[in-house]
Every structure is written in structure tokens, then in C-alpha cells.
Amino acid sequence: MPSMKDIKELRERTGAGIMDCKKALQETNGDIEAAIEYLREKGIAAAAKKAGRIAAEGKVSVLIDEDRKKGVILEVNSETDFVAKTDNFNTLLDNLSRHLLQSNANSMEDVLAESWFMDDSKDVNTVIKEAIANIGENLNLRRFNRYETDGFLYDYIHMGGKIGVIVDIDGENTEENQLAAKDIAMHVAASAPEYIDRFQVPADVVEREKNIYKEQMLNEGKPEHVIEKIVEGKLDKFYSEICLLEQAFVKDTDKTVAQVLEENGLKVNAFTRFELGEGIERKEENFAEEVMKELGKNK
């Protein structure tokens, strides 16, 4: 019998009904990723959402140096939104940003063990623990990405730190180019691309999508000689949803992001988009009760 936790996650990621999720998990021996593919092949679910719901409080922040050559994006979590608005929390967030900007560490473990940039008698982990004791709530430096570029960096923060974006642009750091870069950063915040272009999409991801589309077509009774063409069309749509350059530009959907960049003589080297709490589940007290009711109705 699939667990309520697995049914809940599968439902959130696919939008399928509880009983469909239960059956999919039974058919796949509880493997959630396989269950997602099962539901998609049956036409019950569209492309799966990213795991988990936005639940954690805190903020996403970006710090870029004056010449826009070095920057860092980070997420710090707190237990409540109230704490995330306090001076103590925001001072910690700012100082962690400044520390990470000058750090050479590449892993969270290394960062936490580093000497604090403002006081080398402490490490970063100790500073966070002191803030926890002072604020009275659990705090967590969850993740970060650091950038150094020959082009220039631009950032965008949405809703006071609910979403943060940093974009590495290959181009001259002019006022005009910064305006274009701002539009690209805002687009990334709004459209949540996963890759720059289709060539970055891992081969196993592409193959999985192709197999799902083929299975869908076979289940619909499509003749095999037309399936390949339909699959290619579906793959193009898939790329246009997850690849930055192929997405319709949010400020002018008649253009792609690639066209906007070309018009401005710019190129995106890399980008990071953090959404506060993504992948961390919020407790939902009534979900177990809801599942049991649904299961009871269908016995």
C-alpha cells in the first residue's frame, strides 16, 4: 500500500487524482519517478512539477560587486515570515552575502567551516548558531551559487526575496546593456527556465521525454509511421518550455529570448534562479484525513 506521503507528493507533482496516484504507485512498486511516467503515459498527468511545495520562510538575496564581475545568490531560511522581516535576520543575510562574495569555498560544508570574514576566531557555522540563539528561531543557509565573469552580472529580486535571479551576460557593461539584462533577469524570474538551450538538456532527460511521447501516441492508437514526426513536435514544445533561449519573451511574446538577445548583441553565459523554499514541503494537517476519506469512498 503506497504511503500517504508518497500519494501526496505524486498528486502535487502531477495534478492527478488521489486514486490515480495510488494506482500508479502500486503499478510501479512505490517509485515516484516511475509513477509520474506511468501517469503521463496514460494521459492522466502533464509534465511533472518540481518536487515539493514552497513552504520554508526566509529570503533569497543577491550581492554583486561594483564592477559587476563577481556576485553571489543565496537562500537563508527561517521558521516564520515574521523573523525574515526583522533587522537581525536581514543583518545576518547581508553579512552572509558579503562573506560568500569573498569566499573560495564551493560546498556548503566548506563554507560552514570557513573562518568568518568579520572575525576569524569564529567559523560561519558558529555565527549562524549565535544568530539562532539571538533570534530564537531555527535558521539555515540552504544554498548558494557564486559567479565570476568576463562579461557582467545582473540581478533581480521579486516580492522582497521570494524569488531571486542572477544572470551572467556576455557583453559590455553599459547602461543600455544593463536595461536589456534586467529584462532577461525578470524573464527568468517569471518563466523559470531550467537550461539555457536545448543542447544543455541531458540526453537521458530527452530520451525519457521521447519514450513518454511515443507511449502516449501508441496508447492513442496513432500509426507508427506518424509517431516520429509527432514526437519531434512535442519535443520542440518541451524545449520551448524549459530552455531560456526558446521561451517566448515575457514582455513581447511574439519574440523568443534568443531574438531579444540577438537584437541587443548579448549572450547569456549562465543564470541561477532560486525560489524561496522550493522543494521543502509545508505540513498539511488535513491531507491524511482527505486521503483516507477518498480511499474509503473507493473501497
Contacts 24+ apart (CB under 8 A), 21-29: 22/295, 26/1, 26/2
pLDDT given for residue 159 in this prediction? 94
pLDDT digits (tens, 9 = 90+) for 81-122: 999 999 999 999 999 999 999 999 999 999 999 999 999 999
pLDDT block averages, 10 residues each, the chain of length 299:
88 84 93 90 68 64 98 95 95 98 95 97 94 88 97 97 98 97 97 97 95 91 89 95 97 97 98 91 52 53
Query: Helix 18-27 crosses helix 32-41 at what angle (to 10 degrees)?
Result: 110
Q: Which domains, from first to last, does the chain contain?
A: 1-53+281-299 (1.10.8.10), 57-170 (3.30.479.20)
Q: Can you give the length of the chain in residues? A: 299
Sign of CA dihedral 156, 56, 196, 68: positive
pLDDT given for residue 285 in this prediction? 44
